[in-house]
Copies of this chain bind each other. A is one copy, B any other.
Amino acid sequence: MTVIFSKKCEYGMQAVLYLASQEKGTLVSAEDISKVLKIPREFISKILQSLRESGLISSSKGKSGGFTLAKDPSRIKLIDVVSAIDGLEMFDSCVLGFPECSPTHPCPVHNIWGPLRTQTYDMLTSETIDKLKEKTLSKIRSL
């Protein structure tokens, strides 16, 4: 079982938070991210590539190349990463796995789950990642 998000998505969020905690414009290599966050090198590489394709981060090749955020951290939210990797489908599918769960055909816990889902969405949407910089740094220090 996953805790809501796939490993890819979890790693992607961690990496984006890490990039956001760097000095603006700093290029960070996949190797570096892999070591700091303890994520398999080749795996985070692939994830970074796909985030680049989505336009969330940018990269430069060659020696001393690496990755950096494509825009200011004050304009990026965690939901952007989720959207790019896992997609937003989970925010309108049934927690019990029933098909077409809706107000007209609610599952047994539909009314309770609705607000929770909304709050989860809000958690990912309300804050931009620049606001999470300090917390990110102190978490990384403890890894």
- Which A residues contact B (CB, under 8 angstroms)? 1-7, 9-11, 13-14, 17, 38, 78, 86-87, 89-90, 93-100, 105-110, 112-113, 116, 119-120, 123, 132, 135-136, 139, 142-143
Contacts and interface: CB of A to CB of B under 8 A. Distances in A.
B139 A87 contact: no
Contact of A136 (B78, B94, B108): B108
Contacts of A96: 10, 13-14, 17
- Say how many copies of this protein the assembly contains: 2
A122 to B, nearest CB: 9
A132 B95 CA distance: 15
A94 to B, nearest CB: 7
B109 A14 contact: no
User: Which of A5, A6, A10, A108 has the most chain B CB atoms closer than 10 A to its own CB?
Assistant: A108
A59 to B, nearest CB: 23
A80 B132 CA distance: 36
Contacts of A108: 17, 132, 135-136, 139
Nearest to A123: B112
Contacts of A106: 135, 139
Contacts of A7: 97
Nearest to A93: B3
Given A1-B90, A14-B96, A108-B135, 11 more contacts: A1-B86, A3-B90, A3-B94, A10-B97, A13-B97, A98-B143, A99-B143, A108-B132, A108-B139, A112-B123, A119-B119
